[in-house]
Chain A
Amino acid sequence: MSDLNIMIVGVGGQGTLMASRLLGNVAMQLGYDVKVSEVHGMSQRGGSVVTYVKMGKKIYSPIIEKGEADIILAFEKLEALRWIDYLKQGGALILNDQQIDPMPVITGKAIYPESIIERFEDGGIRLFKVNGLQIAEECGNTKAVNVVLIGLLAATTSIDRDIWEKAMEQVIPQKVIEVNRKAFDKGYLLS
């Protein structure tokens, strides 16, 4: 496998951490070098959060830069738009179709950008759009959005499905594993 750069973007509190843990676990199982990087602190307070996951033969910088992401896993539409410059030509955008207004929009100082999805489609981006919240709800837990998205992501890579299943077993607490297995399956089948 050539290097795989994945960015996870979203809003503080959306559960991006679990997604990066799963990806880190997958990389370890494959015997790759891996770096997972995010900034803690202010970002936990409802701010924009971004996590970089890089795996491959040898990883140096923990940071993914503009035009370098093979996959962007976006938990929220505006965050997808904000980070879209980081997507590599031909890379895939996995987008949770959810809108969370930032404070400048709430207070009327700014407008939530319109027709974000159309912009991606018109821009020729390989877009995988998913209503993660609805699917997670169908599976029995709205918190499983992250695993729905990971399921879809897994299907876009050439990494063996068994490895993802094993990662889930090792990372996800036993009491919620069944819900998350369902969520993963649904996401996987979406592609």
Chain B
Amino acid sequence: MKRLMLGNEAVAAGAYEAGVRLASAYPGTPSTEITESIVKYQEIYVEWSPNEKVALEVAIGASIAGARAICSMKHVGLNVAADPLFTVSYTGVNGGLVIMVADDPGMHSSQNEQDSRMYALASKIPMLEPSNSQECKDYVKSAFEISERFDCPVIVRLTTRIAHSQSIVETADRGNHELKPYVKDAGKYVMMPAMARKRHVEVEKRMAALKDFAHETSLNTIQWGTTDVGVITSGISYQYAQEAFGDVSYLKLGMVHPLPYKMIEDFASKVGTLYVIEELESLFEDQIKKLGIKVIGKDKLPVIGEYSASLLKEKLLGIEQNKTYEIDNESPGRPPVMCPGCPHRGTFHVLKKLKLMVTGDIGCYTLAALPPADAMDTCVCMGASVGMAHGMQKVRGEEFGKKTVAVLGDSTFIHSGITGLIDVVYNKGCSTIIILDNSITGMTGHQNNPTTGLTIRNEPTKQVNLELLAKAVGVDRVRIADPFELKEFEKIVREEVEADEPSVIIAQRPCALLKGVKYEGPLRINEDCRMCRSCLRIGCPAIVDKGDKIEINNALCVGCKLCTQMCSFNAIVKAGDKNE
């Protein structure tokens, strides 16, 4: 059947058709929909793991136990999973093991734009890169075959434009892959020095064999057109190149590591000007230049950001941009904002008011770094807020520590904040950590996590009790507070930052977008308003300053009533209330 599918959905279909038995992941844009799409296949065991490292370990276990397994993450997630990654390269697999990684050139929703292809090189693991949704499905199936044939994990790399573009996919039935027998083999699966030394030899043999395979496989293809120009490319860049260059000759690399050197040499000898087109790092170009081949690439193209057909036309062919209408269209930006009713709004209003130094983290609440909240000083990676607050306190002293809080979400805390908290306790810090417990993983579009009490399939499960968890690692001061009770919340934050010991505040209020969270509906501002503009300070997108009056946007307001706490004149009432 032919269907329009996201690249991510097509990966899920590929996993299904390849007979995958286990899928594990931690959500992260632009990879999240892979695992969300796998959920609809009842034949596959699927889970959100607490972080990417655990997710990969779960998948490695499944593979060694004889099943085909797939593990998905965004590019920075692969940093977290890098430890098992480098060593599973040595152990190899039993059932096929495929690691999906989604890069984000242009950083649509990420903190950096690292190029995951470097991981394939560094860990000596083959990597495939599809260029549309059909290839997403097909390459995942090929990846499982390569994995089992060469006894190694295989990484399939996507980028945002592949993961989040829909194109036509022809689906098929599920293949039949029985569990392979499990045979105890310490020499292969216990990586102690004596065994690992032997396995490293196998890794090098395998890479040599894969270099030969790179020449046989139909993943790498030459598409002959006119031969005055040749283009070596892969992934989304292949699409941009075809639009920019038209009917020239292409060497399309579906397998981006290891590269087919002889095929490249042969192609280069038959074309005139040779371009290498790859987003981000010059991974192909450096290797091709080492072969003594002259190419045009990063001397004209950026290593920063996304490419496009018009960028290639302009930088490589000198073709100007299309004509546009001459209309003055200077426009104010529309940055993403915390939603109306967002529980984080209360938290950050208080932190800003108390002029605290805030080490932040990854999630919706990172938006607090932007105006109007302006209440975040740092954001580096998942869980970093806790360790960073501790490090700051250690070098600048307790007084500084008392003006500092670490802020992170419930899911982020479980992902890697808990280890930071243990460090604070163990090493006698006095940091205050605020866990924004909104009952869901928000930013990536509402995924369950160990604190929600539900699995990925919405089955009830044990729920991590954050209060007991913090106490169990040695935090004596654990407070639970509602960030929408502004006065009480402020009091608690003041007390906890003053404490000479570690403290944890669990700011509890569910995400306003969750089903089941019902507020009373829109508010309005009545004639008692004195235009003091205090309500604007919470930075709610539903409250609009019209110059001569303040209005509440009926279509946006959910009626969370946080703003009513800002008003000294009781001028904010329920819309439709005749009797105010």
- A67→B321 CA distance, assembly (Å): 8
CB of B458 within 8 A of chain A? no
Residues of B within 8 Å of A111, CB to CB, are: 332
- Whether the pair B336, A24 counts as a contact (CB closer than 8 A) is no
Contacts of A44 in B (CB 8 A): 336, 445
Question: Out of A79, A101, A103, which one reaches B539, CB within 8 Å?
Answer: A103
A39 to B326, CA, bound (A): 27
Q: Mark A117-142, 1 if CB is under 8 A from B, else 0.
A: 00110011100000000000000000
A13 to B164, CA, bound (A): 18
Find out whether the CB atom of B372 lies under 8 angstroms from the CB atom of A61.
no
Q: Give Cα distance in the complex from A25 to B3, angstroms.
A: 9
Measured CA separation A108–B544 after assembly (Å): 9
Total A-B residue contacts, Cβ distance less than 8 Å: 178
Find out whether the CB atom of B109 lies under 8 angstroms from the CB atom of A113. no
Query: Are B168 and A46 neighbours in the complex by a CB distance under 8 Å?
Result: no
Q: Does A190 contact B (CB under 8 A)?
A: no
Interface status of B223 (Cβ within 8 A of chain A): no
Is the beta-carbon distance between B242 and A60 smaller than 8 angstroms?
yes
Q: How far is the CA of A152 from the CA of B444 in the complex (A)?
A: 33
A35 touches B539 (CB 8 A): no
Whether B334 and A103, one on each chain, are in contact in the complex, defined by CB atoms closer than 8 angstroms, is yes
Q: Is B310 an interface residue (CB 8 A)?
A: yes
Interchain CB contact (< 8 A) of B166 among A36, A43, A112: A36
Contact status B328-A65, CB under 8 Å: no
Please, how many angstroms separate the alpha-carbon atoms of A90 and B108 in the complex?
31
User: Are A39's CB and B160's CB within 8 A?
Assistant: yes
A79 to B332, CA, bound (A): 10
Residues facing B in A17-64 (CB within 8 A) are 24-25, 28, 33-48, 59-63
- If A63-B309, A123-B326 touch, whether A102 touches B334 (CB-CB below 8 Å) is yes
Residue B337 interfacial (CB < 8 Å): yes
* Interface: B193 (CB within 8 A): no
B340-367 to A contact mask, C-beta < 8 Å, 1/0:
0000000000000000000000001001
Report which residue of B328, B329, B330, B443 has the largest number of chain A beta carbons within 10 angstroms of its beta carbon: B329
Q: Which of B109, B165, B324 contacts A41 (CB 8 A)?
A: B109
Residue of B nearest to A109 (CB): B371
Whether A88 and B108, one on each chain, are in contact in the complex, defined by CB atoms closer than 8 angstroms, is no
Of all chain B residues, the one with the shortest Cβ separation from A110 is: B332
In the complex the two chains form, is A107's CB within 8 Å of B539's CB?
A: yes
| Neighbouring A residues of B132 by C-beta, 8 Å | 35
Q: Quick one: closest A residue to B325, CB to CB?
A: A123
CB within 8 A of B330: which of A33, A35, A68, A113? Answer: A113
A104 and B323 contacting across the interface, CB-CB below 8 Å: no
A34-B167, A60-B242 known; A11 vs B334 contact (CB < 8 Å): yes
Query: With A45-B336, A104-B332, A110-B332 known to touch, is A87 a contact of B309 (CB < 8 Å)?
Result: no
Residues of B in contact with A, size category: 35 or more
A81 within 8 A of B: yes
Q: Which residue of A lies closest to B370 (CB)?
A: A103
Contacts of A85 in B (CB 8 A): 324-325, 329
Are A105 and B332 in contact, with the CB atoms below 8 A?
yes
Say whether B327 contacts A43, CB under 8 Å: no
Chain B interface secondary structure, helix, strand, loop or mixed? loop
Q: Check: B29 CB closer than 8 A to any chain A CB.
A: yes
Q: What is the total number of residues of chain A having a CB less than 8 Å from a CB of chain B?
A: 58
Q: How far is the CB of A168 from the nearest CB of chain B, in Å?
A: 16
Residues of A within 8 A of B332 (CB): 78, 102, 104-105, 109-113
Q: Is the CB of A62 within 8 A of B167?
A: yes
Cα distance A118–B425 in the bound complex, in angstroms: 63
Question: In chain B between 87 and 122, which residues have their CB closer than 8 angstroms to a CB of chain A?
Answer: 108-109
When distances are taken between beta carbons in the complex, the residues of chain B under 8 Å from A12 are 336
Report A69-103 CB contacts with B as 1/0, cut-off 8 Å.
Answer: 00000000011011011111100000000000111
Query: Which of B4, B236, B543 is in CB contact (< 8 Å) with A106?
Result: B543
| A66 CB–B CB distance under 8 Å | yes
Contact partners of A43 in chain B: CB under 8 A = 108, 336
Assess whether B30 is in contact with A62, with CB atoms less than 8 Å apart.
no
Q: Assess the B109–A46 pair: CB atoms within 8 A.
A: no
The smallest C-beta distance from B136 to any residue of chain A, in angstroms, reads 13
Candidates A106, A112, A119; contact of B541 at CB < 8 Å: A106
Q: Is B492 an interface residue (CB 8 A)?
A: no
Question: Contact partner of B308 among A25, A65, A89, CB < 8 A?
Answer: A65
The verdict on A45 contacting B321 (CB below 8 Å), with A61-B308, A65-B310, A104-B332 known, is no
Taken together as a complex, chains A and B put the C-alpha atoms of A65 and B170 apart, in Å, by 28
Q: In the assembly, what is the distance between CA of A28 and CA of B4, in Å?
A: 8
Q: Which residue of A lies closest to B3 (CB)?
A: A28
Whether A34 contacts B4 by the Cβ 8 Å rule is yes
Question: Which of A41, A109, A124: most chain B CB closer than 10 A?
Answer: A41
Q: Which chain A residues (161-184) contact chain B, with CB distance < 8 Å?
A: none
B427 within 8 A of A: no
B2 at the interface (CB under 8 A from A): yes
Q: Is the CB of B336 within 8 A of A42?
A: yes
Q: Which of A24, A60, A81 contacts B239 (CB 8 A)?
A: A60
Complex CA gap A68/B67 in Å reads: 47
B42 near A: Cβ within 8 Å? no
CA distance A44 to B325 in the complex (A): 29
Residue of B164, B166, B372, B443 ringed by the most chain A CB atoms within 10 A = B166
Residue ID in chain A nearest B342 by CB atoms: A45
**CB-based contact B325/A125 at 8 Å:** yes
State the CA gap A99–B452 with chains docked (Å). Answer: 37
Interface 0/1 of B417-436, CB less than 8 Å to A: 00000000000000000000
Instruction: Tell me which of B4, B32, B364 has the highest count of chain A C-beta atoms within 10 A of its own C-beta.
Output: B4
Question: Contacts A41-B443, A61-B243, A125-B325 given; 12 further ones with Cβ under 8 A?
Answer: A11-B334, A34-B167, A40-B164, A45-B339, A46-B334, A46-B339, A47-B337, A66-B324, A78-B332, A84-B325, A106-B541, A107-B371
Interface CB pairs A-B, < 8 A, 17? A34-B4, A35-B132, A36-B4, A39-B109, A40-B33, A41-B30, A43-B108, A60-B243, A60-B309, A66-B322, A78-B334, A82-B329, A82-B334, A101-B553, A102-B332, A109-B371, A119-B329
Which 7 pairs show the lowest CB-CB distances between chains A and B? A67-B322, A41-B109, A110-B332, A45-B336, A47-B336, A41-B29, A102-B334
